[in-house]
Structure 1
Amino acid sequence: MQLYGALVLFMTLSTACALRCYTCTATDPKSCTDTKSCPVIFNRCFSLRIDGYDLVTKGCQTSIACIGAIACCEGNLCNRAVPAGSSAILLLVSSAIIALVLSG
């Protein structure tokens, strides 16, 4: 039962925290390592490649502005340059724990 309580607390705290996005303007998307907590009005992370100047810019955005060349995504640090396998593994493990707790 303590595991269930800790899991509920963890999920509540992670939901209450602000969205975090990578933020930068750079020529190499892999060099974008700075992160920031987005203000409450922003609910998406974005990436935008500026053709002709070989630049990419990343940051926080609202879902309404996610049109055209602006690539938006939902979730903390989802606008990274290289997909991280560890986040997918963490999601699978946490889902399995929730399923075990709820079934038992």
Structure 2
Amino acid sequence: MSLIFIFVLSACALKCYECIPDLSGSCTETTKDCPSNTQCGSIRLTSYAGGTKADVKVKGCAAAEECVQASVNYGVIQNLITSKCCTSDLCNSQDAPEGSISSPNGKKCFYCDGTDCSKTLNCNGNEDHCISTTVTAGGQKATVKGCASKVICSSTQTAQIPGIGEAEISCCQGDLCNSGSSTTVSLLLFVTPLISLVLFS
């Protein structure tokens, strides 16, 4: 009887490719036995800031809620998350497709340009919420505002960013609903780690 139980358990778990990039952006692909309630996934985070683009690719075991297409736009930086998930052994050999910036959808939110958080931003694609993210680091609070997809808002309200501190995320629906005071510290450097943490933790 126990032999049958072991066979059934092993039949339910997937073996997936795993590739978690280091600080240089490179990784060594390995294989991993995943929990029975997950899929194999390839997830890509593409960040656009000014004229530069950064691309981070991750592979591994993915929960259903991590298999998303989403974006968060802080005006000065926009992060696009794309994923490709599957349910057979080692099916995540290919990278997730690269995201592209969508057309404006008619929604507007406030964003921060330096210390001025009263600038208006046109939201794109599936960005249907306004977002405010506040990080406390070294006793100082820093805030960024912008547009976000629903999945970004529903993933977490509070997150820990290693080496930075606690981040508070608040979202709302309705044009320009994320109003508030200006900030004195730029949060640009915190944005990509925050989104990575929300989606890949």
* Residue 42 (structure 1) aligned with residue 127 (structure 2): yes
**Structure number with higher relative contact order (C-alpha < 8 Å, ≥ 6 residues apart):** 1
What TM-score do you get using the length of structure 1 for normalisation?
0.54
Checking the alignment, whether the CA contact within 8 Å between 2:135 and 2:142 is kept in structure 1 is yes
Amino acid paired to 2:120: T
By how many angstroms is 1:24 displaced?
A: 1.2
Checking the alignment, whether the CA contact within 8 Å between 1:26 and 1:56 is kept in structure 2 is no
Taking only the aligned residue pairs, the percentage that are identical comes to 30
The runs of 5 or more residues in structure 2 that have no matched partner are 1-104, 158-167, 182-201
Identify the residue that residue 32 of structure 1 maps to in structure 2.
117
> How far apart are the structure 1 equivalents of 2:150 and 2:121?
18
Amino acid paired to 1:49: T
Checking the alignment, whether the CA contact within 8 Å between 2:130 and 2:173 is kept in structure 1 is yes
Identify the residue that residue 20 of structure 1 maps to in structure 2.
108
The runs of 5 or more residues in structure 1 that have no matched partner are 1-16, 83-104
By how many angstroms is 1:70 displaced?
A: 1.3
Identify the residue that residue 170 of structure 2 maps to in structure 1.
71
Amino acid paired to 1:73: C
Identify the residue that residue 56 of structure 2 maps to in structure 1.
none
Q: How large is the RMSD of aligned CA atoms in angstroms? A: 1.9
What TM-score do you get using the length of structure 2 for normalisation?
0.29
> How far apart are the structure 1 equivalents of 2:121 and 2:170?
18
Identify the residue that residue 61 of structure 1 maps to in structure 2.
148
- How many matched pairs? 63
More strand by share: 2
Checking the alignment, whether the CA contact within 8 Å between 1:44 and 1:62 is kept in structure 2 is yes
Give the ranges of 4+ consecutive aligned residues of structure 1 lying more than 6 Å apart after TM superposition.
none
Identify the residue that residue 92 of structure 1 maps to in structure 2.
none
SS at structure 1 position matched to 2:143? strand
By how many angstroms is 1:36 displaced?
A: 1.0
By how many angstroms is 1:40 displaced?
A: 2.2
Checking the alignment, whether the CA contact within 8 Å between 1:25 and 1:55 is kept in structure 2 is no
Of structures 1 and 2, the larger Rg is shown by: 2
Amino acid paired to 1:35: T
